[in-house]
Amino acid sequence: MSGEFDLIARHFSRCPPRDDVCLGVGDDAALLRPPSGQVLVATVDTLIAGVHFPEQTAPEDIGHKSLAVNLSDLAAMGAEPAWVTLAISLPKVDDRWLYAFAEGFYALAARHRVALVGGDTTRGPLCITVQALGWVPEGEALRRTGARPGDDIYVTGTLGDAGLGLAVVQSRIQVDPAHREALLARLNRPEPRIETGLALRGLASAAIDISDGLAADLGHLLEASGVGARVELDRLPRSDAVRLADPHGRLALTAGDDYELAFTLPPGCEADLARYAERLPPYTRIGRVEAVPGLRLIDAQGNPFAFSHRGYDHFRES
């Protein structure tokens, strides 16, 4: 029977060549060389079967998503990704499953020139933890704390697709078959907005990735900055599938797993960002930062929209 080190050698020893990796997989720890003048950015996320992805999710999709959610955090900081470590708990060794998982993981890693440089494997319930490391020039990191009254609020992509995709998987809702595959792709293969994060350096006053729902995550940004906001529901970017399933916009406000970016721009900065528009995913202005704390939602008629659910929380009692 093959052991842990054979498993690592078979599935997790591929590494895109990088001059900054002095020593990668195979020793007690990695040796890495950050560039001069850069600040190291580190993030870590854990994905648990049945919590962060349905049990029946394809292993390729799990591999992609486990890396994507971490790269999304780096994007929100304006960081360039470089290295990752992977700790995976498996109920049993299944080479076919592991091969497919690694294919999904490495395909996304190759697109962003990310090197897997270490990790751990153990027996237990299916659980994946990825630590991602990157860098940003000193003083240029995007943070949650810089939004100011008068700044415009933007989001990338569309909102609510992953949440609707999960509802479809769980048979809680029926959608047009023409929309099904796109919704499942948004749930299972989120696209980290690395290019947008890099373009926002020196422009955005604050940024955050949308993992627990727009209302929750934008609320974190506003609280960190000590400000409030007015958001127009009619401006929330939604796919046709989401508009049909949820015309009032609650799904776009509260559904998690979109992994888009929310960011604020001071007045006059949109023209500077527009220079990069051809190589960036779409982004939409949805509101404005205000001095009075709190998130205020306005419907299409200009009336206040009352709503209480603030997004996903692992420790909220049901």
Annotated binding site: 28, 43, 45, 52, 73, 119-120, 144, 209, 211-212, 257, 312
DSSP secondary structure string, the chain?
---HHHHHHHHS------TTEEE-BTBSS-EE-PPTTEEEEEEEEEEEBTTTB-TT--HHHHHHHHHHHHHHHHHHTTPEEEEEEEEEEESS--HHHHHHHHHHHHHHHHHTT-EEEEEEEEESSSEEEEEEEEEEETT----SS---TT-EEEEES-SSHHHHHHHHHTTS----HHHHHHHHHHHHS----HHHHHHTTTT-SEEEEESS-HHHHHHHHHHHHT-EEEEEGGGS---HHHHHH-TTSHHHHH-----EEEEEE-TT-HHHHHTTGGGS--EEEEEEEESSSEEEEE-TTS-B---------TT---
Binding residues for Mg(2+) are 28, 43, 45, 73, 120, 209, 212
Binding residues for ATP are 119-120, 144, 211
